Structure 1
Amino acid sequence: MNILFASQAIDGHFNPMTGVAMKLKERGHDVRWYTGPVFAGKLKDLGIPLFPFKRAIEHRADNLFELYPERARLKGPRAIGFDGEKIFASNISNFLEDLRELDQEFPFDALVVDSSMFIQRLVSHLMGRPVVSVVVIPNMESDPLVPPLFFGFRPARNPADKALQAVAGLLSDKVILRPADQSYRRQHSFYGQEVPKGGRLTDETYRCSDAIIQAGTPSLDFPRRNHNPKVHYVGALLPYRRPGAPAGEPLPQGYGNTIVVTQGTVDNADQEKLIIPALEGLKDMGALVIVATGGRGTAELNQRYPQSNIQIRDYVDFAAVFESTDVFVTNGGYGGVQLALSKGVPLVVSGINEGKSDVNARVEHAGAGINLRTESPSPEKIRRAVHSILADPKWKNRAQQMQQDFARQDPAEAAARVVESVLSSRRTP
């Protein structure tokens, strides 16, 4: 069957889908990909033909401030609202027109789409193709038991919590998401598509897809009152790794503990937020501290922290390093959180922007780590949290329990089965 993958040109959206694409390719399907030209080299290495964006703006982790200089001044909910409109909603019509054009060259039988592209309704209704959405962030479907988006709330425990979250929910849906929602409805109206009232913009993925491949496990989600049978939790969706691929550069041996630190690949320009406070807080602990910079300021940090127990690198082979990691200090990127828990590594999480607060609230709720609940923790706060995790075995025990949840199935295999089941049901009279 002809299967078209489509994703934003952002590493955290593209990379987790590559394992699924390769699994379907190995199973004999003709797999091609619609995304930004930035991934031409990666797709060539995978042997997957690329249909590059033509009309669509290529939003990348490294060009967002260039495209939108005003974004640098925004924080918290305002930044999320801005991203929702400019990065995620504004391209919908461009995506559709590109897809209609490439369909002439590659008539696809199914679209496997990054959920944040928000083209499920148009592709399903106007092109008549089955759509499988891949959600590489926490489950964002509305539910009475799930807190509102973007505030980092845990489930309400008392009437006061419920009242606060009700107000925050109105702010999230009617203010923060309003520009993106208006853009979404306006573009759909142009194509004669009426978007039902009620619910929020992020519910469209769950309304309009034939199936949803949800990264993570139910143990890393909040309890839900309503069960959506289209949602399939598949575990940690990780970038494709060739069998027998060598691990990264070897690390020094002989340290009692290993601590890994990252500030992600998007919000990592200001290293004073997490990387530098973490280095200051952990440098004298006697542990091996491994820092992944995402390619920013690595040389300068190595000059500033020449200690033998500190290893600062552009990129780290997390899958290999987590085999011997005791604590993962992160701003809360969902991919890294899943990978750490799939290896049984407890976390210290500290991040708010780009939905990180909602990821970190789930880590806290699951009991798998300590949530510092700030964008810029102090060195002392980080040191105390790491000490707490190393001193109390409950954190490691809980992370290892969740590791068992992640190990129940092969994520790429499970996701491929979801896609094939949709294809099979569409072929059945």
Structure 2
Amino acid sequence: MNILFASQAIDGHFNPMTGVAMRLKERGHDVRWYTGPVFTGKLKGLGIPLIPFKRAIEHRADNLFELYPERARLKGPRAIGFDGEKIFASNISNFFEDIRDLQQEFPFDALVVDSSMFVQRLVSHLLGKPVVNVAVIPNMESDPLVPPLFFGFRPPRNPAGKALQTVAGQLSDKIILRPAHQSYRRQHTFYGQDVPKRGRLTDDAYRCSDAVIQAGTQSLDFPRRNTNPKVHYVGALLPYRRPGADVAEELPPGYSTTIVVTQGTVDNADQDKLIIPALEALQDMDALVIVATGGRGTAELNRRYPQPNILIRDYVDFAAVFESTDVFVTNGGFGGVQLALSKGVPLVVSGINEGKSDVNARVEYAGAGINLRTEAPSPEKIRRAVHSILAEPGWKERAQQMRQDFARQDPAEAAADVVERVLASR
């Protein structure tokens, strides 16, 4: 079968889908990928042909401020609303026209699409193609028991909390995301598509897809009143690794405790948010502290923190290092959180922007880590949280329980099965 993958040109959206693509390729399917030219080299290495964006704007982690200088001045809800409209909703028609045209080059039998591209309804209804939606972020389908997006809420415990979240949900859907929703509806109306008025913007991808591959496990999600039979939790969707590619990390000997710190690969320009406070907090501990900078300021940090127990690198092989890690300090990137829990590592999470608050609320609700609930925690706050994780065995026990949940199936295998079942049903 001919299977078209489609994703944003953003590492956090593209990379988790590569394992699924390679599994389908290994099963004999002709897999090609519609995304930005930035991934030409990666796709060549995977042996998957690239069909690059033509009309669509290539939004990348490293060009957003160049494309939209005004974005640098926005924070909180205004930044969320701006990204929703400009980075995600504005490209829908461009994505669809590109995909409609590329059928001449590659008559695909099914589309496996990054949930944030929002073309599920158009491809399914206008092209008549099976669509498998891939959500590499937490489940964003609305439900009466699930808190509204972007506030970092946990499920309410009392009527007052429920009332607060109801108001916040209206603020999120009717004000923060209103420009994105208007853009979405306007572009679909152009193609004669009536978008249901009820529900939030992100619901439509769950409604219009034949199936949803949902990253993570139900134990890392909130309870739901309504179960969508299309949604399949597959575990930690991770970048493809060639068999035998695991390399043992050369770590300094003599440390019984290992702590890993990262501020991600997108929101890591200002290291005063998490990396530097974490180093200040942990530099004097009798522990090995490993910091992944994402390629920013590594040399300067090494000069500033020359202690023998601190190892600062551009990138870290988390899959290998987490096998001996005791605490993971992170800003809440969903991929890193899943990988840590799949290895049984408890977390200290910090971060609010780009949906991090919702990821971190799930970590807290699952009992797998301490949520600092701030974008820029103090060294003292980080130090207390790390010491708490190390001193109380319950954190490690809960993370190990979640490791068992993640280990129940091979994520790429389970996701590939979902795609093939959709193909068979059509």
TM-score band by shorter chain is: over 0.9
Distance in 1, matches of 2:304 and 2:24, equals 46
Amino acid at match of 2:191: Y
1:310-329 equivalence runs, <5 A: 310-329=310-329
1:7-406 equivalence runs, <5 A: 7-247=7-247, 249-406=249-406
Amino acid at match of 2:337: V
Shift in Å, 1:249 = 4.4
Asked whether the 8 Å contact 2:249–2:320 carries over to 1, the reply is: no
Shift in Å, 1:196 = 1.2
Where does residue 421 of structure 1 map in the other structure? 421
SS of the aligned residue for 2:354 comes to helix
Deviations 1:2-48 (A, max 9, x none): 00000000000000000000000000000000000000000000000
Shift in Å, 1:75 = 1.3
Shift in Å, 1:246 = 3.7
Distance in 1, matches of 2:83 and 2:247, equals 35
Distance in 1, matches of 2:385 and 2:262, equals 16
Deviations 1:75-118 (A, max 9, x none): 12211111111111010000011111111010000000000000
Query: Which range moved further: 246-255 or 194-203?
Result: 246-255
Asked whether the 8 Å contact 2:249–2:321 carries over to 1, the reply is: no
Distance in 1, matches of 2:91 and 2:249, equals 39
Deviations 1:119-162 (A, max 9, x none): 00000011110000000000000100000000000001001101
Deviations 1:219-264 (A, max 9, x none): 0000000000000000000000000014264111211210000001
Amino acid at match of 2:282: L
Deviations 1:355-389 (A, max 9, x none): 00000000000000000000000000000000000
SS of the aligned residue for 1:96 comes to helix
Give unmatched runs, 5+ long, in structure 1.
Answer: none
Asked whether the 8 Å contact 1:248–1:316 carries over to 2, the reply is: no
Question: What is the Cα-based RMSD across aligned positions, in Å?
Answer: 0.7
Deviations 1:56-80 (A, max 9, x none): 0000111111111111111122111
Aligned residues: 426
Deviations 1:301-322 (A, max 9, x none): 1111111111111100000000
Distance in 2, matches of 1:386 and 1:344, equals 16
Amino acid at match of 2:176: I
Give unmatched runs, 5+ long, in structure 2.
Answer: none
Amino acid at match of 1:116: S
Distance in 2, matches of 1:188 and 1:250, equals 53
Amino acid at match of 2:30: D
Asked whether the 8 Å contact 1:292–1:313 carries over to 2, the reply is: yes
The percentage of aligned residue pairs carrying the same residue is: 88
Distance in 2, matches of 1:344 and 1:77, equals 33
Deviations 1:247-302 (A, max 9, x none): 26411121121000000111110000000000000000121110111111111111
Distance in 2, matches of 1:251 and 1:37, equals 36
Distance in 1, matches of 2:310 and 2:375, equals 23
Distance in 1, matches of 2:96 and 2:248, equals 39
Moved over 3 A (4+): none
Distance in 2, matches of 1:61 and 1:265, equals 8
Instruction: Normalising by structure 1, report the TM-score.
Output: 0.99
Distance in 1, matches of 2:381 and 2:66, equals 33
Distance in 1, matches of 2:246 and 2:220, equals 30
Distance in 2, matches of 1:138 and 1:361, equals 11
